[in-house]
Chains A and B, each alone.
Chain A
Amino acid sequence: MSAGGYAKAGRRRRSGDVVRDIALYLIILAFFVPALWIILTSVRPNIEINARPPVWIPSKLTLDSYKILLGWPTPEGAFGLGGEIPFGDYARNSVVIALTSTFFALTFGTLVGYAFSRFTFRGRNGIFLSLMLARAVPGIALSLPLFILFARLGLSNTILGMIIIYVALNIPFTAWLMDGFFRAIPAELDEAAMIDGCSRWAAFLRVDLPLALPGVAAAGIFAFLTSWNEFALASVITRTPASRTFPPALFEFTGSFVSDWRGMCAMSVMMLIPAIIFVALVQRQLMAGLTMGAMKG
């Protein structure tokens, strides 16, 4: 896990550095507390959660909330609000939608980014700017017109519909990042490949794309997290377990007067696990990609 390659050469450690590292650990711990609290809540007895006076240390740990979520038999039975939560359906929808849309957003966004980085054409600035403007449009402004449009096209409440939406939402930022990554790759490299007889497209596939892979990983993190966590549009387009994803499903744990926090926390942890695995796997590529020059204005 050590990212030693990035460490500045020739830096000497002083006693002040230890103090600085401890400060860093404390700050990161502070950022970690809310996540820790969610994990803790998901495994403690339900009765402690809203207890007064507050109970800080759980009297015992239990995986009941996860068992209920996964439909295994437990002494407590279903969640406090009653009704089964079709966790398996939500998991399938979320995984399929997030992975497929990330794949296509990366593909299309990379192509767009490459076109911006290597060609000058009329309207380039305008197109680029319009893409960025598309990112500025908030979900809530899009939700109703998209709902009407998708109802006409037969796409509402479908997995395909959500995939299309997330591909569109992620293309602008992917294109923006990829433009920067390709720009950091010397243009002489593909020119040399073309002199050797490669077509421009072959040069892209064999020279530029492999070099830009850390960048694709960086863009992939952002695209995946957006698709995995988006709520405003998912809540309007996905109505039933046939296409509903995790974020709108969190609402099923809340009622007008009572909320099942433990159940919600258990599902939240289940939601976080794939994201954590994904980020842990690609975070080095993320930093390598970002330092490569994507953000250099």
Chain B
Amino acid sequence: MTTQTPAGSPARAGTRVGISREDKRLAVALLMPGIVVVVLVVAFPMLYSLYLSFTDYTLTNTSGYQFVGLNNYIELFKDPIFWQAFVRTVLFMALAVNLEFIIGLAIAQLMAKAVVGRGLLRTILMMPMMFAPILVGFQFKWFFNDQVGLVNNLLFSLTGKTHIIPWLVDKPLGFIAILVAEVWMSTPFMVIILEAGILSLPTEPFEAAEVDGASGWQKFRRLTLPMIMPFVYTAMAIRSLDLARAYDVVSIMTGGGPANRTELIWTYVNRLAFIGHDYAMGSAMSYVTVAVSFLFTFYLFTNVMKSRWEGAK
């Protein structure tokens, strides 16, 4: 809030009071094309899959399916693998977002202060963002391969002994390997947003703190961090939503296996719906998780919206 532009709230409030008929027509015209496309591609198919989740539709029997009410949902709630995947997904999201935030903040702080070649550094740093998630999956699967992977090879060359660490098989290791891939891929996004936050800060408070003899850490803790909180909040909101969709990386690296050990919700949906052909069940599960995502989105974005639209007072 301290970082508001001088144009601040009064002017904004002014634009909000009255809305003429022409403006109303213009607003509708502006919104329409975008909303129509989103409804066609997202809302409509999602309603269709909501309908299918109340049937016994399978990929091998696409015509003679019947309405089965809440059966799929009841079955799902009784499925221990679903709950394990659910808890694992939440844990994965919490760990990944926080790791990305901490590492991202550290790099952003260093970046904002670096003087030489910032543009080049930023382009290099953004390379993981340019990688297709599917490619990240393939590469990290290969890096963590127990026989010929980069990580085990490195251990071999460093210690002179053969290490066949089954990264993608053992329980905690598989989870860690996926986490490493995800953090590598997504931290740069955090850096970009947080760096933008740090760069947009006014210089006067820092100069005043300098005069008062504040240490670097004090300035960071008392000035930088509180002032970039809106950026932090937005970055974490966007990352949390995207993480809920982090399917490509996991599906390539482990596919949720072996024996459901690294199963996240979306790999389990894939297993049920596309490998097991039980599409209705997969839809039901999609819906449970989409509902959770929706609650989360609702919470985060009403807060973000509030600070953006009304909080500028």
Contacts and interface: CB of A to CB of B under 8 A. Distances in A.
A257 interface: no
Interface in B266-313: 266, 269-270, 273-274, 279, 283, 286, 290, 293-294, 296-298, 301-302, 304-305, 307-308, 311
Contacts, number: 327
Interface string B42-76: 11111011001000000000000000000000000
B148 interface: yes
Given A28-B124, A119-B23, A144 B273 contact: yes
Contacts of A134: 38, 42-43
Given A32-B124, A293-B5, A141 B286 contact: yes
Contacts of B119: 1-3, 280, 283-284
A164 B301 contact: no
Q: Which of B113, B135, B187, B193 has the most CB of A within 10 A?
A: B135
A158 B216 CA distance: 56
A10 interface: yes
Contacts of B82: none
Interface in B7-42: 7, 11-12, 14-17, 19, 22-24, 26-27, 30-31, 33-35, 37-38, 40-42
Interface residues of B, number: 121
A139 B153 CA distance: 35
A188 B124 contact: no
Contacts of B43: 130, 134
Given A225-B129, A225-B130, A283-B126, A118 B15 contact: yes
Contacts of A32: 124, 127
A172 B41 CA distance: 12
A9 to B, nearest CB: 6
Given A9-B203, A21-B116, A111-B30, A183 B110 contact: no
A179 B12 CA distance: 13
Q: Which of B1, B110, B130, B184 has the most CB of A within 10 A?
A: B130
Given A136-B241, A175-B34, A164 B40 contact: yes
B7 A137 contact: no
Interface in A1-39: 1-3, 6-11, 13, 17, 20-21, 23-25, 27-28, 31-32, 34-35, 37-38
B115 A136 contact: no
Contact of A127 (B35, B142, B150, B296): B35
B11 A187 contact: yes
Contact of B305 (A128, A144, A173, A191): A128
A14 B306 CA distance: 42
Given A31-B187, A129-B298, A111 B126 contact: no
Interface string B188-208: 100011011101100100110
Interface stretch (A58-66, A71-79, A83-91, A227-235): A227-235
Contacts of A231: 132-134, 248
B122 interface: yes
Contacts of A56: 157
A195 interface: no
Given A8-B203, A293-B200, A183 B126 contact: no
A108 interface: yes
Interface in A220-261: 225, 228-232, 246-248, 250, 254, 261
24 contacts: A31-B124, A34-B184, A35-B131, A53-B156, A108-B37, A111-B30, A111-B31, A112-B30, A125-B302, A128-B305, A129-B297, A132-B301, A133-B297, A136-B245, A138-B286, A140-B273, A165-B41, A171-B34, A187-B12, A231-B134, A246-B132, A295-B197, A295-B235, A296-B230
Given A28-B121, A290-B193, 11 more contacts: A1-B118, A2-B118, A8-B206, A32-B124, A56-B157, A108-B34, A139-B247, A144-B49, A250-B134, A280-B119, A297-B233
Interface of B: 1, 3-7, 11-12, 14-17, 19, 22-24, 26-27, 30-31, 33-35, 37-38, 40-46, 48-49, 52, 106-107, 110-135, 138-140, 142-143, 147-148, 150, 153-154, 156-157, 184, 187-188, 192-193, 195-197, 199-200, 203, 206-207, 229-231, 233-235, 238, 241, 244-245, 247-248, 266, 269-270, 273-274, 279, 283, 286, 290, 293-294, 296-298, 301-302, 304-305, 307-308, 311
Interface of A: 1-3, 6-11, 13, 17, 20-21, 23-25, 27-28, 31-32, 34-35, 37-38, 49-50, 52-54, 56, 107-109, 111-112, 114-115, 118-121, 125, 127-142, 144-146, 148-149, 164-165, 167-169, 171-173, 175, 179-180, 183-188, 191, 200-201, 225, 228-232, 246-248, 250, 254, 261, 264, 268, 271-272, 275-276, 279-280, 283-284, 286-287, 290-293, 295-297
